């Protein structure tokens, strides 16, 4: 038995995707979105992919990872090395992305299998350690050109990022609403209880971690091929924190929240560009204030859904 | 053999500094189960306070050390009051994110006030060294070791022999029971922060003298390493932090002496992961069964 995929909600989302694609196209050709805004758009897209993939690990499965930048760097450097090898052929981006995904899966399995037995803050420190190990290894390898990093041509533009943003969102959101995702949520809510219900908690933790790592790696590839320079220091522990801030600010467990906060924070970042030194001060204060006054983030666990909207309309009609 | 002894001595003096920082982590974790991520930055502030005080007043080692320790303990208590106290009943992840926020805030503020460039720390200790059949020990290393040992003896005295120390131990075993027995829990937690931050401040001054250079981000890596030291020895256990600190320092010195100094940080992280996986309670820790 196959469910009909052409439901009202799915069609509505399809319309949103096509509509926003056309809208951006029109705005660019009309000159409203200039080169600078296009760069901001790339940043926003990449940040959203990073945020939703980390949200799957932290918000949905409840596993606190501080090593997300490590997987991003794997994607970035796989693409970087392969682009260099193939002299910047356009297809090298996708081959690099694929290699990055494969390496990320292997590394994520190596990281996850021992460390996901740990809980809460121990897990955070262990993943932080792994993230730093990845960075130190990259920094000392010949092929990655050490601390100096790689200089790459710009190979992709916003349509590519847009397409991957859509794919990432669909895959991650579908994962969350599948049986696997529900198992992950049960692990978050109560590990012991879900184990009693026959859920293999380690399996689902690893699954979420690997899926998160795959998309972090994709975001890394997109970053490397659109921003010219990659260096090990870009992917330090601070990058993991930046991603964490987006997730926490939007609300752990809300993908809509990750979208909104990635948008807001990227715009905030760009407008605070001239005050780069106080930006981090604001970041730090913001994190503390959110945790004290609104620990659930901007949107909590709220998700925007067309089905809810349609239900509301339907109810109104009935009343009339 | 001479090289081994030399690295051992370098490792012990570096490790004793890690141990000082690790003590603060371990005490705070023991009492409120919070990884105080900002602890490494308090150590950095200690170095900067010492730097400003020593260059402005021209005073010697002992006054600088004391001023840095007192100021840091005040800062530690203020941070606890503003950022951590409202979150006493929040989840541990919430508290950890707050601590990361505090750490960011302190680092960026210091960068804003003092500039991002490294500063040269004034040399407050006599230069020179002892040469024992080829093994060189600088006076600075001896000073660092003596100061660290004295501070640790002092801490051990406070924790085991005084009333507030007994309160600290009581709170760390069972907060609610301690409160029922009339222990002022909030005060005890504040005192723990003061004590830990004072030790971190002392470590900051000692590192400033040892390496001669300080910068606003110097707390990040030693902070994480000190935490690893605390986990290594068994988090929440005070002698464990000392042992862990020294062991991490020695490992690091041996790795950079015999292998590659580029990988010395990676080796420490690998140790952390092995410890967490094999014996999460740490070297001196007891395995506690989880009750359902």
pLDDT tens digits for range B243-276: 899 999 998 888 888 877 777 888 888 888 888 7
Instruction: Please report whether residue B86 resides in a domain.
Output: yes
Instruction: Check residue B289 and give its pLDDT.
Output: 59
Domain limits at B120? 17-219
Q: Are A64 and B93 in contact (CB under 8 A)?
A: yes
Instruction: Please report whether residue B83 resides in a domain.
Output: yes
Helix (H, G, I), strand (E, B) or coil at B129: strand
| Six-digit token string for A308 | 């809810």
Average pLDDT (B202-209) is 91
Instruction: Check residue B190 and give its pLDDT.
Output: 92
Task: Choose among B35, B107, B272: nearest Cβ to A121.
Answer: B35
Residue B288 reports pLDDT greater than 70:
no
Stretch (H or E) spanning B213: strand B213-214
Instruction: Check residue A312 and give its pLDDT.
Output: 77
Residue B145 reports pLDDT greater than 80:
yes
pLDDT in tens, chain A (320 residues): 456 677 778 888 888 888 888 888 888 888 777 777 888 888 899 999 999 999 999 989 888 888 899 999 999 999 999 988 888 788 888 999 999 999 999 999 988 877 777 776 778 888 888 888 888 888 888 888 877 888 888 888 888 899 999 999 999 999 999 999 999 999 888 888 998 988 888 889 889 999 999 999 999 999 998 888 888 888 888 888 889 888 888 888 889 989 999 988 888 877 777 777 777 788 788 888 888 888 877 777 777 877 777 777 777 766 65
Q: How far apart are CA A47 and CA B275, in angstroms?
A: 34
Distances in whole angstroms, Cα of residue A67 to Cα of each of A128, A132, B41, B103: 5, 8, 21, 17
Helix (H, G, I), strand (E, B) or coil at B137: strand
Exposed/middle/buried for residue B33 (C-beta within 10 Å: 0-12, 13-18, 19+): middle
Instruction: Check residue A70 and give its pLDDT.
Output: 92
Chain B residue whose CA is closest to A130: B269
Please tell me the pTM assigned to this model: 0.85
Nearest to A131 by CA among A240, A19, A208: A240
Instruction: Check residue A320 and give its pLDDT.
Output: 58
Q: Give the least confident one: B42-46, B125-129, B154-158.
A: B125-129
Nearest to B44 by CA among B194, B205, B196: B205
Instruction: Please report whether residue B254 resides in a domain.
Output: no
Only one residue has tokens 């080829």, namely B134
Q: Are B39 and B241 in contact (CB under 8 A)?
A: no
Instruction: Check residue A113 and give its pLDDT.
Output: 79
Instruction: Please report whether residue B70 resides in a domain.
Output: yes
Average pLDDT (B126-153) is 84
CB contacts, 8 Å: B102 with chain A: 284, 288
Report the first-to-last Cα separation within chain A, whole angstroms. Answer: 36
Indicate which of B99, B236, B276, B292 best probes the interface with A, i.e. most A CBs within 10 Å of its own CB.
Answer: B276
Only one residue has tokens 């930006």, namely A279
Instruction: Please report whether residue B252 resides in a domain.
Output: no
What is the Rg, in whole angstroms, of the alpha carbon atoms belonging to chain B?
A: 19
Residues 84-113 of chain A with CB under 8 A from chain B are none
Instruction: Check residue B73 and give its pLDDT.
Output: 95
Nearest to B193 by CA among B68, B57, B54, B84: B84
CB contacts, 8 Å: A251 with chain B: none
Distance from the Cα of residue A189 to its chain's centroid: 22
Angle at B245 between CA B240 and CA B248, to 5 degrees: 120
Instruction: Check residue B92 and give its pLDDT.
Output: 75
Listed in sequence order, the DSSP H helices in chain B are 2-32, 39-57, 61-79, 92-114, 139-161, 163-173, 175-180, 185-211, 220-233, 238-258, 264-278
Nearest to A230 by CA among A73, A66, A39, A93: A73
Residue B236 reports pLDDT greater than 90:
no
Chain A residue whose CA is closest to B103: A284
Q: How far apart are CA B259 and CA A36, in angstroms?
A: 47
The DSSP symbol for B182 reads T
Helix (H, G, I), strand (E, B) or coil at B131: strand
Please, what is the average pLDDT of chain B? 87
- How close, in Å, is residue A204 to chain B by CA atoms? 19
Only one residue has tokens 């899926």, namely A211
Q: Are B250 and B15 in contact (CB under 8 A)?
A: yes
What is the Rg, in whole angstroms, of the alpha carbon atoms belonging to chain A?
A: 20
- Pairing outcome for strands A229-230 and B119-120: unpaired
How many other CB atoms are found less than 10 A from the CB of residue B190? 18
The DSSP symbol for A56 reads I
B102 touches chain A (CB under 8 A): yes
Q: How far apart are CA A64 and CA A137, in angstroms?
A: 23
Distances in whole angstroms, Cα of residue B266 to Cα of each of A137, A314, B225: 8, 59, 11
Handedness of CA A33, A38, A39, A45 (dihedral sign): positive
Chain B residue whose CA is closest to A139: B262
Nearest to B68 by CA among B193, B165, B208, B226: B208
Distance from the Cα of residue A87 to its chain's centroid: 28
Count how many domains chain B has: 1
Q: Are B34 and B96 in contact (CB under 8 A)?
A: yes
Instruction: Please report whether residue B265 resides in a domain.
Output: no
Task: Choose among B106, B107, B280: nearest Cβ to A118.
Answer: B280
Instruction: Check residue A75 and give its pLDDT.
Output: 93
- How close, in Å, is residue A231 to chain B by CA atoms? 16
Task: Choose among B100, B103, B262: nearest Cβ to A140.
Answer: B262
Instruction: Please report whether residue B180 resides in a domain.
Output: yes
Instruction: Please report whether residue B101 resides in a domain.
Output: yes
Q: How far apart are CA B43 and CA B197, in angstroms?
A: 7
Instruction: Check residue B291 and give its pLDDT.
Output: 53
Higher pLDDT, B131 or B66: B66
Exposed/middle/buried for residue A125 (C-beta within 10 Å: 0-12, 13-18, 19+): buried
């Amino acid at each position: 038995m196959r469910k009909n995929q052409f439901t009202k909600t799915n069609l509505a989302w399809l319309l949103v995707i096509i509509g926003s694609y056309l809208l951006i196209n029109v705005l660019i050709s009309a000159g409203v979105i200039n080169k600078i805004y296009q760069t901001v758009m790339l940043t926003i897209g990449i940040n959203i992919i990073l945020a939703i993939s980390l949200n799957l690990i932290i918000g949905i499965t409840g596993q606190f990872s501080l090593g997300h930048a490590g997987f991003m760097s794997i994607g970035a450097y796989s693409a970087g090395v392969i682009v260099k090898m193939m002299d910047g052929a356009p297809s090298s981006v996708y081959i690099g992305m694929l290699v990055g995904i494969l390496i990320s899966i292997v590394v994520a399995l190596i990281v996850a299998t021992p460390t996901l037995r740990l809980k809460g803050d121990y897990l955070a420190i262990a993943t932080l350690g792994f993230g730093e190990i990845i960075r130190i290894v990259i920094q000392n390898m010949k092929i990655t050109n050490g601390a100096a990093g790689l200089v790459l041509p710009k190979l992709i533009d916003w349509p590519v990022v847009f397409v991957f943003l859509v794919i990432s969102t669909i895959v991650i959101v579908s994962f969350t609403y599948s049986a696997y995702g529900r198992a992950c949520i049960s692990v978050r809510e109560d590990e012991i209880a879900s184990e009693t219900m026959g859920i293999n908690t380690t399996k689902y933790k690893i699954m979420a971690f690997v899926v998160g790592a795959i998309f972090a790696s994709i975001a890394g590839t997109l970053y490397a091929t659109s921003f010219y320079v990659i260096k090990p220091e870009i992917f330090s522990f601070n990058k993991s924190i930046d991603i964490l801030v987006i997730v926490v600010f939007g609300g752990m467990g809300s993908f809509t929240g990750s979208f909104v906060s990635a948008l807001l924070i990227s715009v905030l970042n760009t407008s605070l560009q001239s005050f780069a030194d106080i930006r981090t001060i604001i970041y730090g204060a913001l994190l503390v204030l959110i945790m004290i006054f609104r620990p659930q983030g901007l949107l909590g666990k709220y998700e925007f859904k067309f089905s809810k909207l349609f239900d509301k309309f339907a109810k109104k009609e009935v009343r009339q | 053999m001479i090289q081994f002894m030399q690295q051992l001595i370098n490792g012990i003096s570096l490790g004793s500094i890690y141990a000082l920082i690790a003590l603060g982590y371990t005490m705070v974790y023991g009492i409120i189960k919070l990884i105080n991520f900002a602890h490494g930055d308090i150590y950095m502030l200690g170095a900067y306070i010492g730097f400003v005080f020593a260059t402005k007043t021209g005073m010697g080692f002992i006054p600088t050390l004391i001023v840095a320790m007192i100021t840091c303990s005040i800062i530690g208590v203020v941070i606890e009051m503003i950022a951590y106290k409202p979150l006493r009943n929040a989840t541990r992840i919430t508290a950890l994110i707050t601590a990361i926020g505090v750490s960011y805030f302190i680092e960026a503020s210091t960068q804003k006030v003092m500039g991002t460039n490294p500063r040269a720390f004034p040399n407050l200790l006599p230069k020179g060294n002892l040469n024992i059949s080829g093994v060189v020990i600088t006076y600075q290393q001896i000073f660092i070791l003596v100061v660290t040992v004295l501070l640790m003896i002092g801490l051990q005295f406070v924790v085991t022999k005084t009333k507030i120390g007994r309160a600290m131990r009581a709170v760390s075993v069972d907060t609610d029971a301690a409160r029922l027995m009339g222990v002022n829990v909030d005060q005890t937690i504040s005192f723990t922060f003061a004590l830990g931050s004072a030790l971190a401040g002392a470590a900051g001054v000692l590192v400033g003298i040892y390496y001669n250079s300080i910068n606003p981000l110097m707390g990040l890596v030693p902070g994480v390493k000190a935490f690893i030291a605390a986990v290594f020895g068994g988090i929440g256990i005070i002698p464990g932090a000392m042992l862990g600190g020294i062991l991490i320092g020695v490992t690091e010195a041996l790795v950079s002496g015999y292998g590659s100094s580029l990988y010395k940080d990676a080796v420490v992280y690998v140790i952390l992961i092995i410890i967490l996986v094999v014996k999460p309670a740490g070297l001196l820790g007891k395995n506690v069964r989880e009750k359902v």
